[in-house]
A = this chain, B = another copy of it.
């Protein structure tokens, strides 16, 4: 008898009919002889509606209060799912994050899981129950309710799978798996039957929204295989794991892209120690997440410092950077909010020359100008005009022959 953790996202439980349909999927896993733990997100737009309500009573809602408020969304969906399963004569019980032993730090709105005490979950499994756990939430040592921030329910699922020693963590969502590129952009994109943790981590971080990087990281740390599949079809999905059975490794695995990129360049920065620190510490204090940072080699002790942020944070970032730029004697501060990011990712690129050349060459052939380049061992990312991102993904998909089924 295997122990399986399943996770269903908000669109999979958006209304009563979908909840019943998810209940049938869960019942199937149980009927196959598994012990089943299910992590569930809030129904459809519930979280957005609660945030809106908070905005109606407060200009800047307290994060502690907001977390307690938002935590109700997942409780609603998990109780409904448990009821639907019981209505089908399956034994089922719902647990809040607190009851399921998800213990976090006190960083409201983006708490980190510190440990999982799955005692109650184990007890309920031993009683023959399907255990439905409210995702996205946890409990501090002071018995306050926290939420886990982005990717919270995915993270809850993998953390539970790790603490319970589950055989697999299955993440059911509204896409069919991981592809060689976003199939909405590239119709000939191929679904990947499997992918390694590190490749998935780069993909998720650089634009593929299918599973959150936090969950992938946790899966890698505890070596929990993660299946990403659709909750609406029976397609086999993509298995994220660290196994040695990975086939063709000497290859780009997938093209990621991201349209949410804005760039700020501080022009004419005196090249003195501490300048970069003063800029990025101030941005961090203002809660601006900085993505790529590039500084050119200085000429005559004057350099340009460029970095990217999410488009929604551009104004706030400019407000922080402009006075600093002035105080350090930089020439000016310019920004561009119409950028995108395209990345090629694959462990096959490690220590293998030629990938970068082929990527830059392909973009150049299509007249796409590269503004910034960053790389990791298994990834090359180019920041380009947002209007050319679609063309770039298409061209790279063909250039690396990803449309050919392995």
Contact = CB atoms under 8 A, between A and B. Distances in A.
Interface in A51-67: 53-54, 56-62, 64-66
Interface in A64-118: 64-66, 68-69, 71-72, 75-76, 79-84, 86-87, 93-94, 96, 99
A263 interface: no
Contact of A79 (B59, B68, B96, B143): B68
Contact of A83 (B65, B76, B143, B145): B65
Given A76-B69, A76-B72, A83 B58 contact: yes
A16, A54, A58 — most chain B CB neighbours (10 Å): A58
A84 B76 CA distance: 24
A65 B53 contact: no
B62 A80 contact: no
Interface in A142-171: 143-145
Nearest to A143: B99
Contacts of A57: 16, 19-20, 23, 80-81, 83-84, 87
A310 B221 CA distance: 60
A16, A68, A79, A144 — most chain B CB neighbours (10 Å): A79
A50 interface: yes
B53 A16 contact: yes
Nearest to A144: B99
Given A58-B86, A62-B82, A120-B143, A94 B75 contact: no
A59 to B, nearest CB: 6
Contacts of A143: 99, 120
A50 B79 CA distance: 11
B82 A65 contact: yes
A75 B70 CA distance: 10
Contacts of A60: 87
Contacts of A79: 54, 65-66, 68-69
Interface string A17-61: 001100100000000000000000000000000100110111111
10 contacts: A50-B76, A61-B86, A65-B83, A65-B94, A66-B83, A68-B75, A69-B79, A71-B75, A72-B75, A99-B144
Interface of A: 16, 19-20, 23, 50, 53-54, 56-62, 64-66, 68-69, 71-72, 75-76, 79-84, 86-87, 93-94, 96, 99, 120, 143-145
Give 7 closest A-B pairs by Cβ, nearest first. A16-B56, A72-B72, A69-B79, A58-B83, A58-B87, A57-B84, A65-B79
